[in-house]
């Protein structure tokens, strides 16, 4: 049997159990691969790689050697999750984004959570993502973060935890969709025989959500995707989503704000009014009048048009105030405060280095912990204590001492694993999961999400920019009876 000697000691494996059997959601998959040998799996992987190359799926890695476009890294063995388990996670993710949007709205308006003593106001006002320019704004449906990519992990018991929330310009959803397209071409028979929840309607749901945010009374709102351009690492995704939605892909120079404070798009027919902008540019670059005056990526006057209520911007400027790893620690309290509910999906236990007692614990136990800066992404600027050197431990103790507000620490979890093709063998590799949540007039959670996998043995770093790969994620309903 292909996986007869497969083990993942000390970790929860998503597909296989220690006794050599399969978890319920993986039973059909394991039965499918059982008659195969490693060459058969390698042949499927080659077919998947060729499909990715033909489709032109790529991403950009920034390095000292320059910007390198690479084919999207993909592993043929999918991650499977039981649908009955996912339903609870789905509810928890919708709950979480609702509370986060309540918090952002509160921060820029009533500030009730500060007055109640739930979140210290200095935590927010010291965040580099707090935007005074947004005070008093009230986006439609109280939705500031319209698209959220929440990173989930499992611990050794198999329990899901939220690792972090990505609320500014979360990326990766196009790769989730392309992973599914690849698998459907490589193993179509599995999709015929399994009840795998579909994800192909994401682009339609995204367009519907964006349209629901339009401040203008029009039958069909004009939605555009604002990209920084072809040199951005996520440009493939920007172009993909614009194409899938039937929306225009624009750069800052394609838009202008008129004297009437409406946003217009330049085209061959002249000017066309824009109702909704799905922006993929960070706050500080979107409007040189309001933020960085040296930005050539944004649209002069865009914030003026937004504040006038003439255009919707998704995600709204200022929503990054909740996309802070220090603020993350307070999300369970936000859920209780705004929704009067208990969190359905828990945070990873988190130590705030701004608190003297917790900082002392982190400094004394840094070899055991993962230390993260408050606002970095992509796995940069962090320390994985058990895998770091004594010199790195010393360096981070200094960084924490110099700027304690900027650091949190968490225990090193034994992230779950999924069987992966590693050369001439199937071996366990650690994974996380990024589902995508949409909030406008309604809320939608993708069935599954983007599974990112650390392809280096023993590594916990799953980011593609640092050598990670990806897998298709199957939410499998094993309780549905086949109709004959």
Divide the 484 residues of the chain into consecutive groups of 10 and give the mean pLDDT of each group: 83 87 94 93 96 82 54 92 97 98 98 97 92 97 98 95 93 95 96 94 98 96 97 92 98 97 94 97 96 95 98 97 92 98 96 94 95 75 90 95 93 92 94 97 97 88 75 93 47
pLDDT at 480: 72
pLDDT at 484: 34
Q: Is the pTM of this model over 0.85?
A: yes
Nearest-CA neighbor of 408 among 370, 378, 367? 370
What count of residues does the chain have? 484
pLDDT at 483: 40
pLDDT at 257: 98
Nearest-CA neighbor of 262 among 197, 206, 306, 203? 306
pLDDT at 68: 56
In whole angstroms, give the CA distance from residue 140 to residue 299: 22
pLDDT at 413: 85
Domains with residue ranges and CATH for the chain:
349-411 (3.30.1490.270)
Residue with tokens 């509910």: 341
């Amino acid at each position: 049997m292909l996986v007869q000697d497969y083990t993942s000691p000390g970790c929860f494996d998503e597909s296989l159990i220690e006794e050599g059997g399969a978890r319920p959601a993986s039973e059909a998959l394991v039965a499918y691969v059982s008659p195969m040998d490693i060459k058969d799996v390698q042949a499927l992987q080659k077919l998947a790689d060729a499909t990715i190359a033909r489709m032109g799926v790529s991403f950009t890695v920034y390095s000292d050697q320059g910007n390198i476009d690479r084919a999207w890294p993909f592993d043929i063995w999918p991650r499977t999750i039981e649908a009955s388990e996912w339903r609870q996670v789905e509810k928890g993710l919708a709950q979480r984004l609702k509370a986060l949007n309540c918090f952002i709205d509160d921060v820029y308006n009533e500030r009730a959570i500060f007055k109640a003593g739930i979140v210290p106001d200095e935590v927010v006002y010291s965040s580099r993502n707090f935007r005074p320019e947004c005070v008093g704004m009230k986006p439609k449906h109280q939705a500031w973060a319209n698209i959220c990519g929440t990173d989930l992990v499992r611990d050794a018991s198999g329990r899901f935890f939220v690792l972090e929330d990505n609320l500014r310009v979360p990326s990766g959803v196009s790769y989730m969709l392309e992973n599914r397209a690849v698998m459907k071409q490589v193993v179509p028979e599995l999709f015929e025989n399994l009840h795998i929840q579909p994800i192909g309607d994401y682009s339609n749901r995204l367009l519907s959500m964006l349209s629901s945010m339009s401040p203008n009374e029009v039958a069909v709102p004009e939605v555009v995707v604002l990209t920084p351009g072809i040199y951005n690492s996520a440009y493939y995704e920007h172009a993909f989503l614009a194409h899938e939605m039937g929306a225009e892909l624009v750069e800052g120079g394609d838009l202008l704000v008129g004297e009437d404070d409406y946003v217009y798009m330049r085209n061959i027919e002249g000017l066309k009014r824009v109702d909704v902008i799905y922006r993929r540019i960070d706050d500080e670059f979107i409007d040189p009048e309001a933020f960085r005056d040296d930005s050539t990526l944004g649209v002069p006057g865009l914030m003026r048009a937004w504040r006038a209520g003439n255009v919707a911007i998704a995600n709204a400027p200022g929503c990054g105030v909740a996309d802070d790893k220090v603020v993350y620690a307070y999300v369970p309290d936000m859920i209780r405060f705004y929704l009067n509910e208990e969190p359905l999906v828990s945070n990873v236990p988190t130590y705030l280095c701004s608190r003297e007692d917790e900082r002392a614990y982190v400094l004394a136990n840094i070899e055991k912990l993962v230390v993260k800066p408050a606002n970095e992404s992509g796995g940069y600027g962090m320390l994985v204590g058990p895998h770091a050197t004594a010199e790195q431990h010393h360096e981070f103790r200094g960084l924490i001492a110099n700027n304690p507000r900027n650091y949190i620490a968490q225990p090193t979890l034994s992230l779950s694993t999924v069987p992966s093709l590693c050369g001439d063998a199937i071996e366990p590799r650690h994974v996380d999961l990024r589902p995508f949540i949409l909030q406008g007039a309604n809320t939608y959670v993708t069935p599954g999400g983007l599974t990112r996998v650390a392809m280096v043995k023993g590594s916990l770093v799953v980011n593609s920019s640092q050598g990670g790969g990806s897998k298709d994620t199957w939410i499998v309903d094993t309780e549905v009876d086949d109709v004959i």
